[in-house]
Amino acid sequence: MPRNILLLPGDGIGPEIVAEAEKVLRKVNDDFKLDLHFESALVGGAALDEHDDPLPDETLDKGRKADAILLGAVGGPKWDGLPMAKRPEKGLLGLRSNLELFANLRPAILYPQLASASSLKPEVVSGLDIMIVRELTGGIYFGQPRGIRNLEHGERQGYNTYAYTESEIRRIGRVAFETAQQRGKKLCSVDKANVLEVTVMWREIMEDLKREYPDVELTHMYVDNAAMQLVRAPKQFDVIVTGNMFGDILSDEAAMLTGSIGMLPSASLNSDKQGMYEPCHGSAPDIAGQGIANPLATILSAAMMLRYSLDEEEAAQAIEAAVSKVLDQGLRTADIMSEDGKKVSTREMGEAVLSAL
Amino acid sequence: MPRNILLLPGDGIGPEIVAEAEKVLRKVNDDFKLDLHFESALVGGAALDEHDDPLPDETLDKGRKADAILLGAVGGPKWDGLPMAKRPEKGLLGLRSNLELFANLRPAILYPQLASASSLKPEVVSGLDIMIVRELTGGIYFGQPRGIRNLEHGERQGYNTYAYTESEIRRIGRVAFETAQQRGKKLCSVDKANVLEVTVMWREIMEDLKREYPDVELTHMYVDNAAMQLVRAPKQFDVIVTGNMFGDILSDEAAMLTGSIGMLPSASLNSDKQGMYEPCHGSAPDIAGQGIANPLATILSAAMMLRYSLDEEEAAQAIEAAVSKVLDQGLRTADIMSEDGKKVSTREMGEAVLSAL
Ligand SMILES: CC(C)[C@H](C(=O)O)[C@@H](O)C(=O)O
Ligand SMILES: CC(C)[C@H](C(=O)O)[C@@H](O)C(=O)O
C-alpha cells in the first residue's frame, strides 16, 4: 500500500536535519519494502520568503493528502519583527489546526549513553522515561476573541482567550489514558483548577473518563507544582496530560531534564492517525548552515512516524536500534559532546545511522 | 512611628510557622525599638470554617489598615471540593487584588549551607541568586469574562481571559527594571509573543521602558525556553519579569532548583509599599500539626517585610544573619535535613533564630 510522506524542512537547521532523516527513511523504505513516497514543501520563514505566507495553500494541500509529515523546525530572528499573521510559527500552528493534530506526544527519555549531559544529579534522572501528552489544537493558542484593542480611556489592552469544550478535553484525555495503559498505567493530569474555571472542567472530565480506564491510576497536579516536581523528582511521573499552553512549558522543561534535547522527537496526531513528526528542539538559527546540528531527534521522529502513522513497528525499531548503536559507538554532535565522545557533523551522524541500520 | 502588622496564619502548617516568625518579629521589635503592633485575622480555609467566607470583611479591613501583612499559607484537601468562590485560594487572591499588591518578588537563592539539597549538579546551581518579579493582580488570574457555559449544541465550554492593559504592564515593568538596577543590571522579560497577542504588547512595553533604564540590559525569552533555561543554566539569569500565570510556574520551578523551597520568602507590594509577605511553599497539609515544618521561609519573609514595607534594613539584616547562623550551626528541619545535620522541630528552629539574634 503506497503511503505519502511530506517533508517540511522549514527554517534554521531544519533543512540540514531533515535531509539526514530523509536518507534514513529512504533506506528503511528499501530495506523493509514500505512503499513510501516522498514530497516536500515550504513552511514557516522559508515559505514567507518565497510566497509571503507561512503556510501556502500548496503546502496545506500536500499536508492533507500526506499520510504523515516530517517537519524540521520553523522560525528565526529574521522574521521576528513581522505581525502575528505573518510569523513563521503561524505555518506550524496552521498545520496543527487545519489537520486537527490535537494529540501531541512528547517523550522525555534519558539515553543511558548521555546520562552525564543532564544538569541534574544522575540519581535524580537516570532511567527517566516520561511521556507528555499535550493538547495541541485548542486552549489559549487558538481561543477567540484575541487581539489588542483600544480601551475607552485611551490606553490599549492585549487579550487572549483560554477555552476548552468538553469534547476537546475528552478526546485528548482518551489518548492520554490509552497511552498510560500501554506504559506504566499512571496518568497525572496537570491543571490550575484552584484558579482557572476552564481547568476545573478539565479536571472534572479527566475524573469522568477514569471510570472507563479502571486499570490506570489518575492523579491531578497544579501546574506550578508540576513545574517543581519535574525538577525535584521527575521519575515519579509516567504519563502527564495537560492543555496546550501548560504542555508547551512542561514538555520543554521535561525535555531539558535529560540535558540532550537534541535527541527528543515528537508526534502530533489526529483521530485518523495522520500525524506530523518533529524534533522537540527549535530551529537554532545561531548554528544553522554550519553542519553541526544534531539530526537524531529528527531521525527518531521518523521512527515515531513509522510507529504511529504507518504501523511499521519493525522499521521504527530498526531506526531506534541504529541510533542507540551510534551512541554506543561514542559518536556525538556538538550539543551532546562529552569528554570521551567522537565529535561528528550532522552529515556524519546521519551516515553513521545509515550504516548502523 | 507606630506600624501595624497583620498576621494571617491561614491553613495547614501556616499557624505553626507564623507563630515562630511572630516571635522573631517581636524580638527585633524590642531590640530595635520598631514600634510594631500586631493583630491577627482569619483567611482561607480557616476563615471558611468560621465564617463561610475565605476573605471575611473584617480580615480585609484589617489588611487595608495594616502597614504590612505576614501570611502563612492557604488551602488543603479539606476544601478542595468547594465551588470556585468558596475556595481558600480566593482569600489570597482577594487580598492581592483588593490591596492592589501587583508586584510579587520571589527570590530563588541557594544557601551555601544547603547546596547539597538541590537535585541539580552543584556546579549548575552553586551561588544561584535569581529574583523573579511576577505581576500579581492581572493576567489570566483576574481576566473577565470567565466561567463555564453551555454551548448551543449541548456541550459545555470552560473559558478564561488572559488580559493586560498597557499601564498594568508598565508598572510591573518599572518595578522589575528598578530591581535589576539594584542587582546585576540584567533583566529578562518572559512572554509567549510568538503566539499570544497580549504578550506581544507586553514585549513592546518592556522595550519601550528600556529607554528609561539605559544601565539595565533587557532580553526577552519565550516561556517554554525560560522553563528549559532554568533547568539547563539557571545562573544566566539575574532578574526575570513576567505575567501572573507564567510567573506562578517559573517562580516555583526556580525555587525548586535550590532544593530547599522551605527557605524561600516572597513579597507582594503595592505602589504605596504596603505589602503582603509569605513563604513560597504552600500549606503542606500532609505535615500540618506535627511541629516539623520549616519556619525559616516565613521568618525570612518577615525580614523582607522589614526591608520593603517598613524601611528597617538593619532589623531585616539581623534576621537574615540569624538564619544564616542557625544554618551554620547545622540545625535542620526535616525538609532540609542532611546526613550531618542536627534535626530540629519547627519550634526549636524558631527558638534557635531567637537566640542567634
Ligand atoms: C514555535 C511555537 C509556536 C511552538 C509552540 O509553542 O507550540 C513550539 O514552542 C512547540 O512547542 O512546538
Ligand atoms: C494558591 C495559589 C492561588 C497561588 C497562585 O497561583 O498564585 C500560589 O500558587 C502562589 O504562587 O502564590
pLDDT bucket at B211, cuts 50 / 70 / 90: very high
Whole-number pLDDT of residue B85:
87
Distances in Å between the alpha carbon of B33 and those of B112, B185, B311, B313?
Answer: 32, 35, 13, 13
Q: Which of B224, B228, B246 to mutate to test the pocket of ligand 1 (most atoms within 8 A of CB)?
A: B224
Whole-number pLDDT of residue A151:
95
**In percent, how much of chain A has pLDDT > 70?**
100
The model's pLDDT over B260-285, given as tens digits with 9 standing for 90+, comes to 999 999 999 999 999 999 999 999 99
Choose the mutation target among A130, A157, A190, A335 for the interface with B, i.e. most B CBs under 10 Å. A157
Q: Known catalytic residue: A49? A: no
pLDDT bucket at B149, cuts 50 / 70 / 90: very high
The domain B1-110+267-356 having CATH identifier 3.40.718.10: the answer here is yes
CB count, 10 Å around CB of A172?
Answer: 29
Under an 8 A CB cutoff, do A159 and B223 touch?
A: no
The model's pLDDT over A83-101, given as tens digits with 9 standing for 90+, comes to 888 999 999 999 999 999 9
**What distance in Å separates the CA atoms of residue B275 and residue B308, rounded to the nearest whole number?**
8
Calculate how far, in angstroms, residue B4's C-alpha sits from the geometric centre of ligand 1: 48
Give the type of residue at A116.
S
- Please give the mean pLDDT across all residues of chain B: 97
Angle, CA of B195, A250 and A262, to the nearest 5° = 90
pLDDT bucket at A41, cuts 50 / 70 / 90: very high
Q: Give B105-171 as a DSSP string.
A: EEEEE--GGGGGGSSB-HHHHTT-EEEEEEE-SSGGGT-SS-EEEE-TTS-EEEEEEEEEEHHHHHH
Smallest CA-to-CA distance from A309 within A61, A65, A33, A69 is with A69
The model's pLDDT over A281-293, given as tens digits with 9 standing for 90+, comes to 999 999 999 999 9
User: Is the preceding peptide bond at A145 cis, omega within 30 degrees of 0?
Assistant: yes
CB count, 10 Å around CB of B238?
Answer: 18
Element housing A217 (H / E): strand A217-222
Give the count of Cβ contacts less than 8 A between chain A and B: 181
**What distance in Å separates the CA atoms of residue B157 and residue A204, rounded to the nearest whole number?**
12
pLDDT bucket at B187, cuts 50 / 70 / 90: very high
Smallest CA-to-CA distance from A69 within A103, A97, A95 is with A95
Distance from CA of B33 to the nearest CA of A (A): 40
Q: For residue A73, how many C-alpha atoms fall within 13 Å in the half-sphere facing its CB?
A: 22
Q: Which of B248, B266, B276, B277 to mutate to test the pocket of ligand 2 (most atoms within 8 A of CB)?
A: B248
pLDDT for B81 beyond 90: no
Calculate how far, in angstroms, residue B79's C-alpha sits from the geometric centre of ligand 2: 15
What single-letter DSSP state applies at residue B278? E
Distance from CA of B128 to the nearest CA of A (A): 14
Whole-number pLDDT of residue B59:
98
Strand order in the sheet with B265-269: B36-40, B3-10, B68-73, B275-279, B265-269, B103-109, B129-135, B239-242, B186-191, B217-222
The model's pLDDT over A282-340, given as tens digits with 9 standing for 90+, comes to 999 999 999 999 999 999 999 999 999 999 999 999 999 999 999 999 999 999 998 88
**What distance in Å separates the CA atoms of residue A255 and residue A280, rounded to the nearest whole number?**
8
* Burial of A279 (C-beta count, 10 Å sphere; 0-12/13-18/19+): buried
Ordered by start, the domain boundaries in chain B are 1-110+267-356
Residue of A nearest to B251 (CA): A224
Q: Known catalytic residue: B328? A: no
Count of residues making up chain A:
357
**What distance in Å separates the CA atoms of residue B11 and residue B76, rounded to the nearest whole number?**
7
